[in-house]
């Protein structure tokens, strides 16, 4: 099962780093979903970690949802 680590969380700056563990080497989809359930951002990555640019996002709680062909994991991210 895949796991994700968000740092920092809460995010007070413009970026947060997402570390992926036990995901496939192929591409993963990272979605940020806001409190109203709308997708605020979506990116495709091919690595075990990436930085998320949060500058354009408002201060609220987001769900970071990461998925690949075998795994699907969600975690809460607070943007302050």
Whichever domain contains 7, its CATH number is: 2.60.40.10
What is the pTM (predicted TM-score) of this model? Answer: 0.88
For the chain, helix (H) and strand (E) counts, in that order, are 0, 7
Mean pLDDT, residues 4-31 taken together = 84
Domain that holds residue 53: 3-78
Query: For the chain, what is the domain count?
Result: 1
| pLDDT higher than 80, residue 75 | yes
Residue 46 neighbours by CB distance under 10 Å: 10
Residue 66 neighbours by CB distance under 10 Å: 20
Look over the chain and give the mean of its residue pLDDT values, rounded to a whole number.
89
Say what the pLDDT of residue 62 is: 96
The DSSP secondary-structure symbol of 69 reads S
Q: Mind listing the pLDDT tens digit for each residue in 50-59?
A: 888 898 899 9
């Amino acid at each position: 099962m895949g796991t994700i680590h968000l740092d920092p969380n809460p995010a007070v700056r413009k970026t947060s780093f997402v570390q992926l563990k036990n995901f496939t080497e192929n591409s993963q989809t990272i979605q940020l979903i806001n409190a109203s359930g709308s997708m605020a951002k979506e990116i495709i990555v091919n690595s075990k970690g990436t930085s998320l640019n949060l500058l354009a996002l408002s201060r609220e709680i987001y769900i970071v949802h990461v998925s690949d062909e075998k795994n699907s994991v969600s975690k809460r991210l607070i943007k302050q």
